[in-house]
Chains A and B, each alone.
Chain A
Amino acid sequence: MTDKRQLRQPSCINIFIQHSMKIFYHRKLVCLAYFSLLLAACSCVNLQAVTEYSATSMAGIQNFEEIDYSFLQHCLDRCTDEAIATYAIKPAQECSCSLYQQADSVTQVIYNTLAGYFEGLNNLSNNQLTNYSSDALVSALSADALGPVKVDAASVTAFSSLSNTLLRASTDLYRKKKLGFYIEQANEPIQVLLKNFTTIINTNLRGELKFKRARLYKYYMDMKMNRTLVSEYEKGQATSDYYQELEEINRKEKALAVFAESVVEIAEGHQVLYDNRNKLSVKELSGLLFSYSSNVKDLISEFNKLKD
């Protein structure tokens, strides 16, 4: 009995143990509270700068679909111009444009890849589901039209090994980390594609318009030299037609130049993003990216005016 009673009564040791347990639980609760606060703080990671930049870039790149000119269109226009100049009326227009169609196909692959990348970047920074496929980027980089691709092979491999499906991240901190990794792996190949996209639009496609202008000049000059126009009205009408057509070519040239300029701004912005990939939530990044996003917005607006 005595032994049992002794056991039921709290001994000094038992009191000490209970007290220690209370302190332990209290500390655990405090730790848990701290951890929850930390998690809450992490969930407030601000990726707005990345979201804004990627959304503007996406809109800028997507203006490609609004360009009312292509290599194929140029080839078809050339056939029509030549038929008009030689008064060639045939049951159907004979026009071989396969080379020009190939040039369009390569441009389209590059465009799809870039649009997909910026959409993926935007979704990831916005905590939305995304399924950007790096396979498209790898195939775009191996396109013939890029010529000797100046991108490190290891970099392409690293990027292609990224998970094709970037799932919604459970915490913003994890999302930020994943986003930084995404930007780091993508920067080199994306810069190569942006540079090539600019060259194709600004140098090659815009360059084709110079030849269209040369053919237009030849058509009207030949008409003038042949003295085929007799009345003053006809001469005036021909001159008016010439300058209207010239203006239309100039408008197209300007639209292509403005679009290409926006792609250059996007590329420079991405480089800033890459250089700051480890501090994506830092407020200063918004300031650094602001000028690029703002310039792209201005260029989109300018492009839209030229489009109309």
Chain B
Amino acid sequence: MANLTSEQASQLADNFYYLGMAIGEFRYANWDRLSLEENKELSEMQNSILRCGEDILAYATKLIMDEVATSLVQINTISQEIKGSIKTLKNIQKGLNVAAVILILGVAIVNRKPDEISSSLKDLVDTWNTPLD
């Protein structure tokens, strides 16, 4: 377990910024297909994901993580994948699930809980790779 450097924290915050924006793009692309409840839920999750990114920047080097370099590479890779293709996702439920696990990961990082970071990161990769479009 180690502290993040300010550069690593900044990179992490960037990932949450792009993930928050990607959830927004998913909402706008599927606006008419989302129920009011689903849209509201996604909107709130989008706000919370953006909040996580802001909190990460305020915490900066106080953040801790297991195997920092490996975990950051994993988060970076999955963020790039989600950012690149969530807009074209046809399955609304999968979009909701992905947003939920991104938020769980963000909360674990801000709360500085390395075990929860590892498990939620694994959940995010699994949820994203589940064969539902």
Interface residues of A (CB under 8 A from B): 71, 74-75, 78, 82, 99-100, 102-103, 144-148, 196, 199-200, 203-205, 207-208, 210-211, 214-215, 217-218, 221-222, 225
Contacts and interface: CB of A to CB of B under 8 A. Distances in A.
A228 B24 CA distance: 18
Interface of A is mostly: helix
Interface of B: 3-7, 9-10, 13-14, 17, 20-21, 24, 28, 31, 43, 46-47, 50-51, 53-55, 57-62
A225 B31 contact: yes
Contact of A208 (B6, B7, B58, B61): B58
Contacts of A103: 58-60
A209 B13 CA distance: 12
B-side interface mostly: helix
A214 B17 contact: yes
Contacts of B59: 99, 103
Given A147-B60, A210-B17, A225-B28, 13 more contacts: A99-B59, A100-B58, A144-B61, A146-B61, A147-B4, A148-B61, A204-B9, A204-B10, A205-B57, A211-B50, A214-B20, A214-B21, A218-B47
B86 to A, nearest CB: 16
Nearest to B46: A218
Contact of A211 (B17, B24, B60, B62): B17
A99 B17 contact: no
A208 B17 CA distance: 10
Nearest to B51: A78
